């Protein structure tokens, strides 16, 4: 029999507030050497990359805005943004969100944490918010470092947009920041997939690398000639859609759709991770939450989301074919050419001529003209014609186009040499290649209203 | 003066699918008591400790902790602390930072003095600013105890706290637990080290295959048990052996499996306590000096082996 001194019953168990739990998770995350190394790398690496590449004589002209890296400091952050979408951001989300739950399995600290916090919901909220905070911190670090590096090494000169028009420095600054902000949406989607993998796969290293694998698979899918609705329904399109900000008018349709899709994926994957987490049995040591069932519960709803979004996009935006047709290309090439012609005239101190006075038009042909005049390919060829005031005869120039299935293209001048050949032009920032020699463009994959 | 059990379990049953981890457990533990929980692997000790910490709830039965009924997961009342399956520590943080983070989690940001105090109690002051990554198992155990102490617990649940401890560490931990109990904290201690349980616990519960096979004072356990083996070291082993052979209730053990019996100066006998007392009296009357008298295995260990063997035989017979 037991007897003891009378003592007031203890107060009922109260879960720890989310704010405290969040701070605890942040302390744990930021104490990991891996996270510290990432933070330092994100703060130093991009600036170093932008400065180093900007000084090279050979620029990464195969990447969007890469050819302008020695002309303006705004190009560097955009080149880095393109690179980050493919490699850096999936890797960052993997290492942070993909590990935030699994680390407790590895360390055997779940029971300690549960006893301390006393709420599954609050632990999930705190871990999700903490990983989100660190991911955003890393993205901000990447952007800030690249911008500072670019502006410090090259300067804040105007940037040539993807339709050839010159964006003022202030306008470019806003668009660069907006582009990085837009990329947060697919990053959040990958982060949520990382949370899901971390909960569903437990100690398995597959959980850690899930966002990278998903991003790689979706990135590869973007290279394929997919139906437009499916292309836009994949969160990876969010890493590409920002380039629509650099045309006039802005290609807002694909951008807004991709942001909405990414946010839906982020919410659904987070909810799935939450449901798996609160159903986990923490009394069984051998159970780390992983397993086939967890994987199915996590994957099937995301496939359903993908199919639903494909349906909604098809119904609402009514995309057709590949989204890249002859008319769109002709309009895009003619517009870009006219803008760049004015830039070239200005750089070469030739008389200015307005776009409307030029009346530039393009005639594009795919292959020999016998194939379907639609879709991506390296066999597009466009002849641009325009008029100059006081000159009776029409002018013309030819371009060969390399069009990718996401709507981007690179136009390569094919004569005449004095118009779109390779020669250097003296500019305020030093000698630059002739702006009409090669240029990048982008067509809106959705039908224009 | 009211009487309150720190812990009161009635018919506690916990199943994991087909496996019955706990089978109608009835348990009372008094406040201020260090209560031992022993049993073979898979007996249900960790499951029971998990119930006390609120990590799980029983499928059947009622559990009252510190006078508060517990009905849901993570619903253990304030004042319950401890760990199962080793303390939860973060290797990237220092010992002090681990404790500070835990204190901050509980809304006690400015308790540096408390942290220093608990680190001192468990003997980790010198390594307070070292990362836990480099700690030995014994140091981790002590830091886990310090983390529990930081919450000023009224029920402390410890699973194998002596794992990896050196003698000095063991002594320090025993001192901490004894002081806590003296100040009214109840300690539920699971251990495979019978010497720890015997030296610390007033009462013990033996679990086997999810059922309690004994629960009560250690003395009662010893009295209930069968004959025990004792080792006697005397000034005249031959004469002592002759005296032992004269007593009908005493058997001399020459078993090759008993290492003590291989020592020529040591006599190993098997007897009940009254017969052993008689042998000791005769040895002393014969002017033989008795230099050492000790059980070959501790009474608790003997009882543990006997009781759990019986349970296993019953289980096998079903």
- Per-residue pLDDT tens listing for chain A (449 residues): 444 444 566 666 688 899 999 999 999 999 999 999 999 999 999 999 999 987 777 888 888 899 889 889 999 999 999 999 888 999 999 889 988 999 998 888 988 899 889 899 999 999 999 999 999 999 999 999 999 999 999 899 999 999 999 999 999 999 999 999 999 999 999 999 999 988 888 777 777 788 888 888 998 888 888 889 999 999 999 999 999 999 988 999 999 999 999 999 999 999 999 999 988 877 665 565 556 676 777 788 999 999 999 999 999 888 888 889 899 999 999 999 999 999 999 988 888 899 999 999 999 999 887 888 888 999 999 999 999 888 878 889 999 999 999 899 999 999 899 999 999 888 777 788 899 999 999 999 988 75
What ipTM was assigned to the predicted interfaces of this complex? Answer: 0.81
What would the mean pLDDT of B258-286 be, rounded to a whole number? 84
| Pairs of CB atoms within 8 A across A/B | 143
Q: Cβ contacts (< 8 Å) between A287 and chain B: which residues? A: none
Choose among A418, A402, A422: nearest CA to A410. A402
Residue from B2, B41, B53, B74 to probe the interface with A (highest A Cβ count within 10 Å)? B74
Q: Which residue has the tokens 């990278």?
A: A212
pLDDT of residue B308: 73
Residue from the list B32, B54, B68 with its beta carbon closest to the beta carbon of A115: B54
Tokens of A17: 């507030």
Residue from the list A11, A107, A116 with its beta carbon closest to the beta carbon of B78: A11
C-alpha span between B274 and B272 (Å, rounded)? 6
- Residue B228, phi then psi, degrees to nearest 5: -120, 160
C-alpha span between B114 and B150 (Å, rounded)? 7
Q: If you measure CA to CA, which chain B residue comes closest to A105?
A: B88
pLDDT interval class at B243 (50, 70, 90): very high
pLDDT of residue A7: 57
**Pairing mode of beta strands B290-295, B228-234:** antiparallel
pLDDT interval class at B224 (50, 70, 90): low
Q: If you measure CA to CA, which chain A residue comes closest to B101?
A: A24
pLDDT of residue A54: 78
Cβ contact, residue pair B28, A1, below 8 Å: yes
Residue from the list B31, B54, B101 with its beta carbon closest to the beta carbon of A24: B101
Q: Which residue has the tokens 């040895």?
A: B283
pLDDT of residue B311: 63
Q: Are A261 and A254 in contact (CB under 8 A)?
A: no
Q: Cβ contacts (< 8 Å) between B157 and chain A: which residues? A: none
pLDDT of residue B164: 86
B60-65, strands of its sheet edge to edge = B19-30, B5-16, B60-65, B68-69
pLDDT interval class at B245 (50, 70, 90): very high
Across chain B, mean pLDDT equals: 86
Calculate the alpha carbon distances from A36 to A39, A104, A205, A380, B94 in Å: 5, 19, 21, 48, 16
Distance from CA of B176 to the nearest CA of A (A): 20
Distance from CA of A300 to the nearest CA of B (A): 26
Residue from the list A4, A14, A20 with its beta carbon closest to the beta carbon of B30: A4
Q: If you measure CA to CA, which chain B residue comes closest to A34?
A: B92
Whether the CB of A449 is below 8 Å from some CB of chain B: the reply is no
Whether the CB of A9 is below 8 Å from some CB of chain B: the reply is yes
What pairs with residue B293 in β-bridges? B232
Residue from the list A13, A14, A115 with its beta carbon closest to the beta carbon of B55: A115
C-alpha span between B247 and B234 (Å, rounded)? 17
Whether the CB of A2 is below 8 Å from some CB of chain B: the reply is yes
pLDDT of residue B179: 93
Chain mean position to CA B190:
5
Q: Cβ contacts (< 8 Å) between A284 and chain B: which residues? A: 16
> 3-class SS at A291?
coil
Q: Cβ contacts (< 8 Å) between A33 and chain B: which residues? A: 92
Q: Cβ contacts (< 8 Å) between B5 and chain A: which residues? A: 2, 4
Cβ contact, residue pair A10, B31, below 8 Å: no
Cβ contact, residue pair B90, A10, below 8 Å: no
pLDDT of residue A243: 93
pLDDT of residue A219: 87
C-alpha span between B76 and B78 (Å, rounded)? 7
In sequence order, what E strands does B149-260 have?
155-159, 186-190, 203-208, 211-217, 228-234, 251-252
269-308 in chain A: CB under 8 A from chain B = 282-285
What would the mean pLDDT of B124-135 be, rounded to a whole number? 94
C-alpha span between A86 and B29 (Å, rounded)? 60
More confident residue, B305 or A263: A263
Q: Are B53 and A115 in contact (CB under 8 A)?
A: yes
Q: Cβ contacts (< 8 Å) between B47 and chain A: which residues? A: 283
pLDDT at B273 over 90: no
Number of residues written out for chain A: 449
Torsion sign, CA atoms B179, B145, B191, B43: positive
């Amino acid at each position: 029999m037991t007897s003891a001194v009378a003592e007031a019953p203890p107060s009922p168990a109260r879960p720890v507030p989310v704010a405290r739990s969040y701070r605890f998770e942040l302390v744990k995350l930021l104490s990991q050497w891996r996270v510290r190394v990432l933070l330092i790398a994100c703060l130093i690496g991009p600036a170093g990359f932008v400065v180093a590449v900007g000084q090279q004589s050979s620029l990464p002209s195969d990447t969007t805005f890469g050819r302008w890296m020695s002309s303006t400091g705004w190009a560097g952050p955009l080149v880095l943004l393109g690179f980050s979408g493919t490699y850096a951001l999936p890797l960052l989300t993997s290492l942070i969100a993909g590990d935030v739950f699994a680390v407790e399995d590895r360390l055997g600290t779940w029971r300690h944490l549960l006893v301390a916090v006393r709420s599954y919901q609050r632990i999930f909220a705190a871990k999700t918010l903490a990983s989100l905070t660190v991911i955003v911190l890393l993205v901000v670090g990447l952007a800030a470092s690249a911008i500072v590096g670019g502006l410090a090494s090259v300067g804040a000169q105007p940037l040539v947009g993807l339709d050839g028009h010159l964006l003022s420095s202030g306008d470019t600054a806003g668009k660069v920041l907006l582009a990085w902000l837009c990329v947060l949406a697919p990053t959040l989607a990958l982060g949520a997939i990382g949370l899901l993998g971390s909960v569903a796969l437990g100690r398995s290293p597959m959980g850690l690398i899930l966002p990278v694998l998903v991003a790689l698979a979706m990135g590869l899918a973007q290279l394929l000639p997919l139906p437009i609705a499916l292309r836009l329904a994949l969160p990876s399109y969010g890493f590409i859609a920002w380039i629509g900000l650099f045309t006039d008018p802005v290609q807002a349709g694909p951008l807004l759709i991709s942001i909405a899709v990414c946010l839906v994926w982020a919410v659904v994957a987070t909810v799935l991770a939450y449901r798996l987490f609160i159903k986990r049995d923490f009394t069984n040591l051998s159970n780390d939450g992983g397993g086939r069932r967890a994987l199915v519960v996590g994957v099937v709803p995301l496939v359903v989301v993908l199919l639903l979004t494909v349906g909604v996009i098809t119904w609402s935006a009514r995309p057709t074919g590949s989204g890249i047709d002859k008319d769109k290309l002709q309009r895009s090439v003619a517009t870009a050419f006219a803008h760049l012609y004015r830039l070239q005239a200005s750089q070469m101190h030739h008389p200015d001529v307005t776009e409307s006075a030029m009346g530039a038009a393009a005639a594009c042909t795919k292959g020999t003209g016998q194939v379907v005049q639609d879709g991506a390919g390296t066999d597009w060829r466009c002849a641009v014609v325009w008029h100059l005031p006081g000159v009776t005869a029409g002018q013309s120039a030819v371009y060969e186009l390399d069009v990718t299935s996401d709507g981007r293209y690179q136009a390569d001048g094919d004569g005449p040499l004095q118009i779109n050949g390779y020669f250097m032009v003296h500019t305020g920032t030093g000698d630059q290649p002739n702006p009409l020699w090669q240029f990048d463009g982008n067509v809106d994959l959705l039908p224009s209203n | 003066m009211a009487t309150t059990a720190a812990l009161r379990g009635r018919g506690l049953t916990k199943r994991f699918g087909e496996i019955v981890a706990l089978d109608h457990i009835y348990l009372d533990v008094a406040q201020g008591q260090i209560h031992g929980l022993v049993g073979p692997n898979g007996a249900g000790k960790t499951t029971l400790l998990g119930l006390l910490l609120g990590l799980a709830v029983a499928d059947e039965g009622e559990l009252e902790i510190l006078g508060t009924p517990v009905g849901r997961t993570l619903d253990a009342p304030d004042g319950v602390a401890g760990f199962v399956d080793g303390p939860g520590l973060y290797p990237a943080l220092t010992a002090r930072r681990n404790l500070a983070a835990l204190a901050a989690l509980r809304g006690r940001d400015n308790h540096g003095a408390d942290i220093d105090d608990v680190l001192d109690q468990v003997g980790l002051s010198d390594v307070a600013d070292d990362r836990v990554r480099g700690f030995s198992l014994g140091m981790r155990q002590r830091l886990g105890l310090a983390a529990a102490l930081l919450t000023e617990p009224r029920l402390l649940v410890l699973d194998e706290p002596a794992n990896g401890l050196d003698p000095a560490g063991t002594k320090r931990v025993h001192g901490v637990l004894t002081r806590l109990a003296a100040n009214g904290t109840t300690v539920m201690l699971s251990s495979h080290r019978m010497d720890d349980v015997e030296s610390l616990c007033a009462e013990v519960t033996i679990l086997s295959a999810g059922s309690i096979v004994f629960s009560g004072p250690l003395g009662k356990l010893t009295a209930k048990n069968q004959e025990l083996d004792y080792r006697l070291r005397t000034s005249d082993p031959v004469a002592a052996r002759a005296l032992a052979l004269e007593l009908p209730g005493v058997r001399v053990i020459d078993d090759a499996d008993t290492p003590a019996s291989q020592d020529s100066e040591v006599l190993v006998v098997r007897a009940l306590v009254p017969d052993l007392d008689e042998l000791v009296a005769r040895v002393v009357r014969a002017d033989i000096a008795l230099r050492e008298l000790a059980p070959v295995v501790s009474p608790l260990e003997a009882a543990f082996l006997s009781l759990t063997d019986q349970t296993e035989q019953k289980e096998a017979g079903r």
